[in-house]
Amino acid sequence: MGSPFILPRPASLQDPLRIAVMISGGGSGLEALLRFQSKEQRCHHTVLVLADRIGARGLSHGKNRSIRSIGIPIPDNASKSENRLAHEKLIQTELESSKIELVVLSGYMRILSPWIVKKWKGRLVNIHPSLLPDFPGAHAHREVISAGVSTTGCTVHLVDEGVDSGPILAQKTVPVLPEDDEKSLQERVKKVEHLLYPETIDLLCSGEFSL
Ligand code: GAR
C-alpha cells in the first residue's frame, strides 16, 4: 500500500504547471519535451533541469533555453547513505525553491529514496525503456536482447517506493530486430519515447488521469 498518490492539479494554458526534469546523461528525452513545449502553448512548462553530475551533457538543452539547469554531484564526505540523503536534500531544496509541481525523471539513473518519493508521490513520473513490468532496472535493452523477445517498448509510470513498479500511465511497443544490439535497440526505443513522454505529460497536466 504505502502513502497515497496525489496527482498534479489540473493546469491550464493561463496557469501552466511548473515542471522540473531530472537527467543523468545526454538528455535527448529532455530536449524532446522542451521542443514539444516550445512548439505551441501548453499547460506545463519546464522551469528547472537537475542532473546528478556537474558535467551531464544534457544540461546544455536547458541552458540553451535559459532554464535554470544545474548539476548536483553526490557529496562524498560521509557514509554512502549519508551522502545519498544529503544529495536528495539538495535536490528537494531546489525543487521547493523553484516551486515545482511535477518532477519528470528522464534518464535519471539513480533510485530515489522512499522519503523523497513520498513527498512527490503522484507528482513524480518516470520513463523506462521496456514494457513494464518486464525488464525493470538499469539494463533493460541488454536483458530484452538476451531474453530473445521480439517486442519491447517503453513505459511512462508514476514513481512509487519500488524500482520501476509504480502505476503505468502509458506504454508503446517497439519491434526487436534479429540484428539488434543494445545501441540500435536503444535508438529505436528512444524515438518512440520522445513522442510518448511529452504526450503523456501533457495528459497528466491536463487532469486526464485518475487513480
Ligand atoms: C532513455 O532511454 C530512458 O528511457 C532511460 O535512459 C535513457 C536516457 O536517454 N532511462 C532509464 O533507463 C531509467 N531506468 P537520454 O539521456 O538521451 O534522454
Judge if the beta carbon of residue 29 lies within 6 A of ligand 1.
yes
Place of cell 494554458: 13
Which residue's CA lies nearest to atom 10 of ligand 1? Answer: 107
Judge if the beta carbon of residue 152 lies within 6 A of ligand 1.
no
Q: What does the pLDDT look like over 126-176, one tens digit per residue?
A: 999 999 999 999 999 999 999 999 999 999 999 999 999 999 999 999 999
CA distances from 14 to 41, 43, 71, 199 (A): 9, 7, 30, 19
Which residue's CA lies nearest to atom 7 of ligand 1? Answer: 107
Provide the pLDDT for residue 84: 97
Of residues 61, 128, 157, 194, which has the active-site annotation?
128
Does 128 participate in catalysis according to the annotation?
yes
Confidence band (pLDDT; 50, 70, 90) for 1? low
- Is 80 exceeded by the pLDDT of residue 4? yes
How many Å separate Cα 53 from the centre of its chain?
16
Distance CA 42, CA 63 (A): 20
Ligand 1: which atom is nearest the Cα of residue 32? 18
Q: How far does residue 14's CA lie from ligand 1's centre (Å)?
A: 31
CA distances from 184 to 1, 112, 124, 179, 194 (A): 38, 29, 29, 9, 16
Average pLDDT, the chain: 97
Question: What domains can you pick out in the chain, each with its CATH number?
Answer: 16-120 (3.40.50.170), 127-211 (3.40.50.170)
pTM higher than 0.75 for the full model? yes
- Is 70 exceeded by the pLDDT of residue 205? yes
Longest CA–CA span in the chain (Å) reads 48
Judge if the beta carbon of residue 141 lies within 6 A of ligand 1.
no
- Is 90 exceeded by the pLDDT of residue 2? no
Q: What does the pLDDT look like over 12-56, one tens digit per residue?
A: 999 999 999 999 999 999 999 999 999 999 999 999 999 999 999
